[in-house]
Amino acid sequence: MSRSRNECPTGRLALPWALAGVLAAAGCSKSPASPDPAAHTYLGDWQGTVVSEAIGTGTIRLTVAREIAGGSAVQISGTFSMTFVAPGFDVSGTFSGSEGRTRDVLGIFFDRSTVPCPGEPGGRADRAIAATLNVDAGRISGTYIAAGCPGGTIDATKK
């Protein structure tokens, strides 16, 4: 889906400055643009594995409901869920993201969620989650961080 005016993604997250670089690398454009036919199409369901450094393996589902192509990047948004064996760490919410300039990296910012955080009281904390994922023929994979708590990896394929 394209618009006559593209906008940079905005969100409710208070993101650490280190994470802001992912969006800055993706770039934003205020001028009209047509979709690039060589660009990836992210719309739809993505499913796979999420591995937390603190609590182990779980499953992840991303549903990309919106895709805006223009300028130097494709911007996406949708819903997500992560399910773990460890009780109390299943999360769901919304996310937004953008491709990098080379179109082979996708930066995603998830809603603040309760994450395992051994250094915090009770071993948990409410944190922003951000992922930098490599894009390769219907597969996204890479690492995520949880703002000062242990992160992990994500590996998902388009269904």
Q: What is the domain partition of the chain in residue ranges?
A: 45-158
Report residue 135's pLDDT band, with 50, 70 and 90 as the boundaries.
very high
Contact 79, 94 (CB under 8 A): yes
What would the mean pLDDT of 75-94 be, rounded to a whole number? 93
Q: Assess whether pLDDT exceeds 50 at residue 14.
A: no
What's the CA gap between 76 and 37, in Å, rounded? 16
Report residue 124's pLDDT band, with 50, 70 and 90 as the boundaries.
very high
CA angle in degrees (0–180, nearest 5) for 55-45-147: 35
**Is pLDDT larger for residue 73 or for residue 25?**
73
Report residue 100's pLDDT band, with 50, 70 and 90 as the boundaries.
confident
pLDDT at res. 40? 62
> Is 5 strand, coil or helix?
coil
DSSP category for residue 24 = H
What's the CA gap between 58 and 76, in Å, rounded? 23
**What are the start-end ranges of the E strands in the chain?**
44-52, 56-70, 73-84, 91-99, 105-116, 124-135, 139-146, 149-158
Cβ burial 111-128 (10 Å sphere, 16+ → b, else e):
bbbebbbeeeeeebbebb
pTM: 0.75
The proportion of the chain whose per-residue pLDDT surpasses 70, expressed as a percent, equals 75
Residue 18, C-beta contacts closer than 8 angstroms, at least 6 positions apart: none
Q: Assess whether pLDDT exceeds 70 at residue 5.
A: no
Q: Assess whether pLDDT exceeds 70 at residue 15.
A: no
At 93, list the tokens: 């919410």
Q: Thinking of the domain 45-158, which architecture would CATH place it in? A: Beta Barrel (2.40)
**Is pLDDT larger for residue 101 or for residue 54?**
54
Q: Assess whether pLDDT exceeds 80 at residue 39.
A: no
What would the mean pLDDT of 138-143 be, rounded to a whole number? 96
CA angle in degrees (0–180, nearest 5) for 54-45-144: 25
